[in-house]
Amino acid sequence: MDKIKQLILRLGIRSTYKGFLYLAYALTLCMQDESYLLSIYTRLYADVGKHYNVNRDNVEHCLRTVVSTCWDKEDRKFLIKISGYNMTQKPTNGEFIDILYHYLTLHEEISL
């Protein structure tokens, strides 16, 4: 999970946000089972919420906050770089998770 947390910090999202932990755990789950990407709200948020004893709406809200935090800072340039395309608007939570997931899996393969 250290690589995941380093990536999140690089995006300008500080560990003082609840969404930092939720995002790190969500990405950990996705790395273990890619099918989480197919049911973000119903399955991924529910399992993250269960882990942290909050409901999935709370998880969604906190993740929306960290996505906005990343987008509103200069660190957006790094997000655009790792996405592989020129983003002109803030990504949805699902798009954000997908971008980070694919970046992490690509870099995991490179380091092998």
Residue count of the chain? 112
Q: Using one digit for the tens of pLDDT, what is the confidence trace for 64-91?
A: 999 999 999 876 889 999 998 889 999 9
How many angstroms separate the Cα of 79 from the Cα of each of 28, 34, 37, 89?
19, 21, 19, 12
Does domain 2-111 fall into CATH 1.10.645.10?
no
Show me where the domains of the chain are located: 2-111
The reported pLDDT for the residue numbered 93 is 98
Burial per residue of 57-93, b for 16 or more beta-carbon CB atoms within 10 angstroms, e otherwise: ebbbebbebbbebbbeeebeeebbebbeeeeeeebeb
Q: What is the pLDDT of residue 85?
A: 87
**Which stretches of the chain score pLDDT less than 50?**
110-112
Q: Which residue, chain included where needed, has tokens 């269960």?
A: 50
Task: List, in sequence order, every beta strand (DSSP E) within the chain.
Answer: none
Residue 50, token pair as written in the block: 């269960």
Nearest to 22 by CA among 55, 82, 3, 34: 55
